[in-house]
Copies of this chain bind each other. A is one copy, B any other.
Amino acid sequence: MSAPIIAIDAMGGDFGPRNIVQASIACLIATPSLHLALVGQASLIEELIASHRGVDRSRLRVVNSSEVIAMDERPSQALRGKPESSMRVALELVASGQASACVSAGNTGALMALSRHVLKTLPGIDRPAMIAAIPTRTGHCQLLDLGANVDCSAEALYQFAVMGSVLAQILGVANPRVALLNVGTEDIKGNQQVKLAASLLQAATELNYIGYVEGDGVYRGEADVVVCDGFVGNVLLKSSEGLATMIAARIDSLFNRNLLNRAIGALALPLLKRLQTDLAPARHNGASLLGLRGVVVKSHGSASVSGFQSAIYRAMTEASENLPQRLNNQLETRFRDDQG
């Protein structure tokens, strides 16, 4: 395993380059084999780096780029109108082999469009899927797609299942249980795409397909990989974030209602803080774009310094485990089996 070089889009996200530079330097210090390329407005990035001490510049390169993609910019505009954006230049470092992965906290739609254009998808994959881990009663589950693909064919759902299963294995789950998200667990439930995808998955001997899972079953930990279209996955992820935030606020307000409750709340605070961190892994760890000829990790736009660090580590793992090649092999096996 050679030393990974990660290209970082230093300009993306809600908070600008300060957090991203800080997270990058923290990762460099913690991981002596890591090399980073920070892409963006070089003078600003250099200034931010200079404010830190003990930075090993032999492992930290700054790559200038003159443009930034705004968080609300249309993907088509990002694709056609900004050849010098930090996001695009970072992806081009991966495409040219100068980096083994890219991390960005920028505009999700633009990252999808640019990744697909610059890196290309794996053979047989039309569009990348976005995947992240959510907590369950028994551990974690990988959920995809999270909004990259609002309408999905049964074939696309099948491909998501294959890709999610490979990623779960890389992340340490042996023989991951793969399920399709549905409105019931009986055969007759669901829409046409889901029913068709179920028959494709039942026939896929390379997968440990366990059938349908419902929304509550996801959090009960019934599956290691949960597959759905991007509309449904996006709603599940965001509504869960919203609910967890609401519950945290309610707990705060319950514990603040009077003096006795405040005293109990002060005692319970460390427990409640840990709970809130546990509930926001997608915000914390970032999401991966699967199905590309390169590793791309999307950090949450409002990720903290430690959140961006987690996204860098996620990219390191996927690069060193050679995720795109392994996905390719799995997909090829399947095509070969289909033809055999």
Q: In the complex, what residue of chain B is closest to A185 when comparing beta carbons?
A: B72
**A177-208 interface (Cβ within 8 A of B):** 181, 183-184, 186, 188-192
Q: In the complex, what residue of chain B is closest to A228 when comparing beta carbons?
A: B235
For A219, A244, A261, the residue with the greatest tally of chain B CB atoms inside 10 Å of its CB is A219
Oligomer: number of copies: 2
Given A188-B74, A215-B235, A238-B216, check contact A271 B246 (CB 8 Å): no
Tell me, yes or no, whether A171 is within 8 Å of chain B by CB: no
Compute how far the CA of A250 lies from the CA of B272 in the bound complex, rounded to whole angstroms.
Answer: 10
Check B242–A239 contact: CB distance below 8 A: no
Which of A31-39, A92-100, A274-282, A331-339 touches B? A274-282
What chain B residues lie within 8 Å of A274 (beta carbons)?
254
Indicate the size class of the contact surface on chain A.
35 or more
| Interface SS of A by simple majority | helix
Q: In the complex, what residue of chain B is closest to A235 when comparing beta carbons?
A: B215
For A74, A186, A240, the residue with the greatest tally of chain B CB atoms inside 10 Å of its CB is A240
Tell me, yes or no, whether A313 is within 8 Å of chain B by CB: no
Check B232–A231 contact: CB distance below 8 A: yes
Check B150–A231 contact: CB distance below 8 A: no
What chain B residues lie within 8 Å of A136 (beta carbons)?
246
What chain B residues lie within 8 Å of A230 (beta carbons)?
183
Min CB gap A58→B, angstroms:
42
Compute how far the CA of A190 lies from the CA of B183 in the bound complex, rounded to whole angstroms.
Answer: 20
Chain A: residues with CB nearer than 8 A to chain B? Answer: 72, 74, 135-137, 147, 150-151, 181, 183-184, 186, 188-192, 214-220, 228, 230-232, 234-247, 249-251, 254-255, 261, 264-265, 267-268, 271, 274-275, 278-279
